[in-house]
Amino acid sequence: MSKSRIFAALLGAVSVTATAVQAEELTIERLLGSPGLSGPTVQGLKLSPDGKRVTFLRGKEENQSQLDLWEFNVSTGNATLLVDSDTLLGGETEQLSEEEKARRERNRSLTGKSGILSYFWSDASDTLLFPLGGDVYVLPLGGTLKRLTKTPAYETDIKFSPKGNYVSFIRDRELFVVDVDTGAEKQLTTGSSDTVANGMAEFIAQEELGRYTGYWWSPDETKVAYEQFDESDVIVKDRYEVQPDGGVVTLKQRYPEAGSANVTVRLGVAELASGESHWLPLGDDKDIYLGRVNWTADSSKVVFQRLNREQTRLDMVAAAPKGSSQTLLSETSDIWVNLHNNLNFMADGRFLWTSEKTGYRHIYLHGADGKQIRPLTSGDWVVDEIQKVDTAAGLVYFTGYKDSPIEQHLYAVSLQGGKIDRISREAGWHDVAVGDGIFVDKFSSPEQPPQVLVKSLEDGTTKAAVLANHLDENHPFTPYNDGSVVTEFGTLEADDGSALYYRIYRPATLEPGKKYPAIMAPYGGPHGQRVRREWKLDFNSYLARNGYVVMVLDNRGMWNRGLRFEGQIKNAMGTVEVADQVSGVNFLKGRDYIDGDRVGIWGWSYGGYMTLMSLFKAPDVFKAGVSVAPVTDWRLYDTGYTERYLGHPDAPGDVYNKSSVFPYVENFTGDLLLIHGMADDNVFFDNSVKLMSVLQNSNKPFELMTYPGKKHGIRGGVQVHLYNTAFDFFERKLK
């Protein structure tokens, strides 16, 4: 059987029988270009509300970035194609609006993808909604596909109303609804302009606050809360995109650099019947972030989270659309307040909420008046996300890290608190969707490629396999997991005694007496945990396959270790992170097969910044580094992220200067490969241009690779070129 047919079989069935595939050299092209190397994968996993179907998005055999909608029937065990994106597009290429391109760049899971990227179930589990090509489609199960919009404008952020009677979307910066049965369309907001938008999330909300929508349905479908933002005071930057044809596009982009003005926001409620809007009081302080917005279960109140500019105080406010408001609770921190999505209202008005007030994120039950009733979890470990509240059984299902910071599991706890039961069984990383009596488990471990199983909530046993990957002679990814690379997990001690988790990739067979070059591969920044007990077949394993020892070390400042561990970078970026990476190098040097004089480092984004800071602050440790899309001066980065960690640039002290790379450039004596996309709208190309100039004026040699037309992720076929360039650099500098 050919490889293409094996891939097709793997992508289209629960199990597969095929002839063995002959091993071949693992190249960067093979690593990046084929889904077979790690086995097939799916995304967008959802359970229908009735729990009978599992739906997911899957790439086409010939184009993995173009996604179709599939379903897996739990009772029959069959997977079938529900909607083919090619059929809908009529063979044409999807054309995206500039706003949709920007939205997909902000939401990393959508970047570089096409076809069907999102979809929604009706509460009755009888209809599916999805957007494609800027229009809206609904599919009654067993019925005929219905197109609700066909306009030149691009509809974005498309949603079902809670009961499935309406579809809502944003068009031309205004909020619209469509009656599913009649097709009648209604515009709910007015007043948008080049600087004013209704129902949309602003740049900072999308890029830094993890909020990608700007409107919220009431559960009874009678009202819609919506954000209005005005960005007229936000700095307009000239951003120059150098395109592959050599042309230069000058874009005017409103980009709130650290210390500059943010958007101003208002929160309105539109009534569906009358079309009237009412504005809710957000408080006297106008320089805030609108963190999250929810409704109470009875649709009587909008509950919004107001975060101050310094991100050290969060107020949760319940407001009646035409009445009074009250603050339900407040969170304060001398470090910062992390936003999350763990607010769950119950029918009686009580709600569940997670807080880091003990230093670790845990679940608390609150009364309708906001007062805490009891904690449900506690301890020196972190809750991730509340997955489901079963009030009938009195249970809360959640994911978290009770057993290990590098393993994610599904747990259950009573609404009364007490004993916590672990439901997921296998050691590793579990992403789940929880239904009635079952959960869908997307699981992987260092030994197990990603698989998707339907399991029992009662005891965690498997009921059905949506996607079963196996490492054996019948599967095409086996030749690349042939035992030539081994992975090792462990901890080492930081300067302050903190335990730092690491993952080491190294050749399985070490030649006696041979000294191997080492490469550190950090991300290093907040919320950027990289050491997980999950399947990884990536550039780091490729380096190990070719004679390098690679260490991924999660330094202080990282996620899922508690707020104090994370908060050590407050007002001090580029300090403890570099010290911990040096500790990692010293740890490796304790092994007789490591050549301590040939140590490199590479990273992307914050990891690119880490590469520069390590080369410049520890030149006696790091000989060579590859820095991709780095921040070099935090004054050039945005308000929401930068001020959370470094404060306002005008605050007393020299925090921003000390946290930039430039005070340390004169120390640099090694080798650097600097890489950046020339259309990056997140970490602007300005960052690298400024570094180039300083290095040149300091007579510091370096190598440079730029990618015309590419944004922060530098996605597409040129990634093969990028990784080959990085690999060649290390081959020349460390071997």
Element (H, E) at 31: helix 28-33
List Cβ neighbours of 144 (8 Å cut-off, separation of 6 or more).
Answer: none
Q: Which listed residue (431, 638, 671, 680) is catalytic?
A: 680
- Is 605 considered catalytic here? yes
Which pair of tokens denotes residue 170?
């944003």
Q: Which listed residue (362, 366, 409, 712) is catalytic?
A: 712
List Cβ neighbours of 592 (8 Å cut-off, separation of 6 or more).
Answer: none
What burial class does residue 92 get, using C-beta atoms within 10 Å of its C-beta: 0-12 exposed, 13-18 middle, 19+ buried? exposed
**CA 378, chain centre distance (Å):** 26
- The full DSSP string for 269-282 is EEETTT--EEEEP-
Q: Which listed residue (605, 614, 659, 660) is catalytic?
A: 605
Q: CA–CA separation, 116 vs 42, rounded Å? A: 13
Q: Are 548 and 539 in contact (CB under 8 A)?
A: no
Strand order in the sheet with 313-319: 288-295, 302-308, 313-319, 325-332
Q: Are 573 and 597 in contact (CB under 8 A)?
A: no
Element (H, E) at 384: strand 383-390
- Is 676 considered catalytic here? no
- Is 193 considered catalytic here? no
Closest by alpha carbon to 28, among 720, 548, 705?
A: 720
CA-based R_g, the chain, Å: 26
Which pair of tokens denotes residue 195?
């600087």
Q: CA–CA separation, 381 vs 400, rounded Å? A: 8
**CA 696, chain centre distance (Å):** 36
Element (H, E) at 287: none
Closest by alpha carbon to 540, among 626, 649, 656, 609?
A: 626
* DSSP 3-state of 622: coil
Element (H, E) at 670: none
Beta-strand (E) ranges in 310-394? Answer: 313-319, 325-332, 343-345, 351-355, 362-366, 372-375, 383-390
- The catalytic site residues sit at 605, 680, 712
